[in-house]
Structure 1
Amino acid sequence: VGGILQSVDVDLGGKIEEGQVVAKLWSASVAEAVAKAVLTHQTLDRERKLSADRVTSQAALQEAEAAHNAACLPLRTLGFTEQRIEEFSHKPPEQVLLEVRAPFAGEIIERTAVRGALMEMGKPLFTLADRSTMWAMLQVPETALARVQKGQTVELRVDSLPGQVFTGPLTWIGPAVNERTRMTLARAEFADLNGLLKDKMFAAARILTRRTDKALLLPPAAIQYVEGKPFVFVQRADDLFDARAVRLGTKFNGHQEVLAGLEPQESVAVTHTFALKSALLMSRLGAGCADD
């Protein structure tokens, strides 16, 4: 409803409990509704007394009850309790203020309310946010969707908070892939009781699609690609390496997981791998010329 703000009881950054009064507003429509409810309540009281004395009919009593319930309905919608509505009928006429209460616990992050201002119907007075849990909207590549499921753990790292890692569940995966980026939207939720995370922060997230105690990890420099397929160079002697095709998994802290094609005890080249790749390609070219 529209009206005049008589008091503003909270400010930006205020921690608010559910049901707490944040402002009080006088409204002509509320005052009119209260006056109508008081009048119908007085009529109902009179009909009840007459009914007790068997002076009036049951139909007249029922009509008075229906009229009072109809008059009280707008006030109940605005949060007035039955007890408070009844108190209006027994008190001298006074200014009736509508108490604006917080629908849930949280923090005031925006305020447009000013004491004495005329507020229009539908205009927000405050923006209240529960910052104890924050959402992160993720971009998941189409190629990874087969491994991603709701409930998986997500690790979130924010550039402006070095060393901080937030963990939370993946709670939603979008139904569509962006035709331009080939990405799907997903959402993860993170507990943030200290209020470190802020709206619109840039962050990097990693979804833990599986857990293993025996992951084989290599630095990216150890992996070369030939015709689009990943290879590593397994050491056979001091100056002898074999090219080995491998199957890759996920990346972890700047390292690449190897799922198949390499044993844990085998040594691989991690430097000068591009030179080894060039030597491999030259040997293949020489073998092709010899065959001709």
Structure 2
Amino acid sequence: MTAGLLLGLSAVAGCGGGEAAGREKAAPPDLPVIRDGVVELPAGYADRVGISVAPAHYEDVRPVVHVTGVLEFDAQRLAAVGSRIAGRVADVDVIEGSKVEAGEVLGTMVSAELGTAQADIAAVEARVLAAKRDVERKRSLLAEGITSQRELDLAISSAAMFEAQLRAARQRVVALASAPAKGKLGINALTSPISGDVVGVHVSRGQAVVPSHTAFMIADRRSLWVRLSVFEGELVHVQAGDPVELTPTNHPEEAFAGVVEFVSVGLDPMTRSAEVRVVVDNSSGKLRAGQAVHANIRPASAQRRAVVVPRQAVIQIDGAPIVFVAMNERTFEMRKVTLGVGDFERVEVRDGLREDEQVAVSGVFALKGELYR
């Protein structure tokens, strides 16, 4: 039994010694070495993690202010149509979505007040006609010596008074109905002042309306607005005339051109932002009011020529922007830089990097990870 126990212990000891020997023979993997902010890579490591470099170079660059907003109708191409007098709707000639031209009839109303004003025109016209005939008669009588000059002057004065009353009656009808009297008395035609789309119909046949009621809304959708809230820090370079690229949130592959038309002169004290109004060309008709969009404002006044690098070359370490500068194929220096303006793809480096220095543009996070290993 003693002999068997010794043989078993010898076997166990032999197995343990073999594993230990195997661990000693296995070579440790090649890993980067970091000395004083310089990362030295082992052979083949850059290819394994996909590190590539690109040179810093001078290029025109300007910032991009990215905000979101909602499209709305251009207030200068929007018209609210209603009656200037109280009445009842006789007919509605359009529906929401109808396309109309300027001057086209949208609906008609019946108004007793308008009928009275139109009837007054006919009455005054009769008085004017009678007064003119009286003037001609008095002239003939004066030539025959039957009447006096004073009688003729009184007739001329009376005719002038009636003509003034006629002009006033006609202007009253225009003021009530926005158009001269035509056709049946008391009928008021509501017409569109602009060409565009009917975007709102707020009346129906037989409905009684008052002057404060908006019956129709017409919009020229060839131009739209988007009001953007831009924070104080990004507002400094934005000005009227700056180009804007807009993409619908539900169709980011489509882009539309716009231009800054107005920058508010005051800031919202709560949000520290200001309104920037952008006019968007919608000749294609693809955009709709109420649609959410992403807007990229490119301030022209901030454009300058500077040393730039791809944005993915810059990482943040302890809150500071850092790039990895290639000293040679296997050595990278971690260097702090000062950034300036930039867009989504490039960024200006104001300090810390010279033109033509090579920086890592891919595999950057692998290099950053070595700093914390």
Q: Same fold (TM over 0.5)?
A: yes
Contact 2:118 2:185 in 1 (8 A): no
Q: Which residue of 1 aligns with 2:335?
A: 243
Contact 2:314–2:321 (8 Å) recurs in 1:
no
- Asked if residue 80 in structure 1 is aligned to residue 179 in structure 2, the reply is yes
Identify the residue that residue 119 of structure 2 maps to in structure 1.
Answer: 35
Partner of 2:311: 219
> What is the distance in 1 between the residues matched to 2:309 and 2:95?
52
Bigger shift: residues 210-219 or 45-54: 210-219
Correspondence for 2:322 among 216, 228, 231: 231
2:208 aligns to what?
118
**Which residue of 252, 258, 265 maps to 1:162?**
252
The question of 1:102 aligning with 2:192 is answered yes
What residue in structure 2 maps to residue 129 of structure 1? 219
Find the residue that maps to 1:57 and give its secondary structure. helix
Question: 2-side partners of 1:272 and 1:3: how far apart?
Answer: 74
d(CA) in 1 for partners of 2:307 and 2:193? 48
Please state how far the C-alpha of 1:173 moved relative to its aligned partner: 0.4
**Matched length:** 269
Q: Residue 79 of structure 1 aligns to which amino acid in structure 2?
A: S
Query: Could you tell me which residue of structure 2 aligns to residue 287 of structure 1?
Result: none
How far apart in 1 are the matches of 2:205 and 2:192? Answer: 18
What is aligned with 1:268? 359
Cα distance change, pair 246–14 in 1 and its aligned pair in 2 (3 A) = same
Uncovered stretches (5+) of structure 2, i.e. residues with no partner: 1-84, 139-151
Aligned to 1:50: 134
Higher relative contact order (CA 8 A, sep 6+): 2
Tell me how far 1:218 sits from its aligned partner. Answer: 1.8
**Structure (1 or 2) with the larger CA radius of gyration:** 2
Q: Are residues 1:19 and 2:103 paired?
A: yes
Residues 113 and 125, structure 1, Cα contact 8 Å, conserved in 2: yes
For residue 198 of structure 1, the aligned residue among 288, 296, 312 is: 288
Structure 2 residue 70 is the aligned partner of structure 1 residue 70 = no
Shift of the alpha carbon at 1:59? 1.7
Kindly tell me: are residues 215 and 195 of structure 1, through their superposed partners in 2, closer, same or farther at Cα, counting changes over 3 Å?
A: farther
Q: Deviations over 1:97-143 (max 9, x none)?
A: 11111011111111122122222222111111111101011121211
* Inter-partner Cα distance in structure 2 for 1:274 and 1:137: 42
Cα 1:36–1:192, aligned 2, differ >3 Å: closer, same or farther?
same
- Give me the whole-angstrom Cα distance separating, in 2, the residues matched to 1:7 and 1:50: 44
Contact 2:307 2:355 in 1 (8 A): no
Amino acid at match of 1:2: A
List per-residue Cα deviations over 1:161-218 (Å, max 9, x = no partner): 2311111110000122222322211011111123222222222111111367988342
Identity of aligned residues (%): 22
Say what the alpha-carbon RMSD is for the aligned residues: 2.7
Does the 8 Å contact 2:306/2:348 carry over to 1? Answer: no
Deviation, structure 1 residue 259: 4.3
TM-score by length of 2: 0.65
- Checking the alignment, whether the CA contact within 8 Å between 2:196 and 2:221 is kept in structure 1 is yes
Structure 1, unpaired ranges of 5+: 89-93, 281-292
One-letter amino acid of the structure 2 residue matched with residue 144 of structure 1: E
